[in-house]
Amino acid sequence: MKIAIVTGGSNGIGRATALELGKRGISVILTYNSYKERAEAVVKELEKNEGVRAIALKLDLTQLSTFDGFVQEVKTSLNQIWSRTTFDYLVNNGGVGGPMMLADMSEEYFDKILNTNFKGPVFLTQHLIRFMNDAGAIVNTTSSSKNQSFPGYSVYGSLKAAFSSWTRYIAKELAPRKIRVNAVSPGPTHSNFGDGAFDKHPEFIRPLAEQTAFGRIGQPDDLAKVIVSLLSDDFGWVTAQDIEVSGGHLL
């Protein structure tokens, strides 16, 4: 039985990834920050798959001081539920978004984007790889905005670019353990990004859809299938890559 840890697993791409893992017989430890009920619903859905077990644990990526306690919860869960001391896959998906122009930018906003989208995942990974199985796999969720210049996304895009670059460095460092590290860069995706911006402003969808080669924006399942495939042995000869999954956005 393979076990995956998925951060930000209660919503959007993280939720879809957790459910796709379950369909393929992989058990899941998913994290949530604000949406406990949604996370528990994902757990129930996952456990409908034969032989799959799941658990939801609270994690705030901005609070590094809580990581030791979170790691202990993971270890306890591995032992009690799976009689294991290790896990196999890590999906660093948890993050926050939303634009802010440089003229309006606050230090609070900068720190939130930094800590949730880059610093938190870096140090969480540092904690978790200590008991990840050799020959495992990591997938980081970056963003196609790292290669674009939409107004208001200077910090978000820059930190996603940093996360993409970090992916390559860590792939090199973990190669002796045969741990593969890759990333996916979503384009515009109908998830809860920006606190559900597309649901609140559906008028944003059509212009973005018209910018893609396939004439629509992405759905969480589009990303989930790529993420889970990257974790699998089908991509056993692929590491240090960042694959854009955007339907040809701005092609």
Q: Quickly count: other Cβ atoms within 10 Å of residue 193's Cβ.
A: 19
- Report whether 52 contacts 26 (CB < 8 A): yes
- The three-state secondary structure class of 183 is strand
Q: Quickly count: other Cβ atoms within 10 Å of residue 71's Cβ.
A: 15
For residue 33, give the DSSP letter. Answer: S
132/177 Cα distance (integer angstroms): 10
Instruction: Choose the catalytic residue: 32, 89, 153, 156.
Output: 156
* Beta bridge partners of residue 243, listed in sequence order: 184
Query: Taking Cα atoms as reference points, which of 144, 155, 168 lies closest to residue 111?
Result: 155
Q: Is 156 a catalytic residue?
A: yes
Cα distances (Å, whole numbers) of residue 70 to 11, 110, 194, 241: 20, 25, 26, 29
Query: Taking Cα atoms as reference points, which of 68, 120, 69, 112 lies closest to residue 94?
Result: 120
139/150 Cα distance (integer angstroms): 25
Catalytic residues: 156
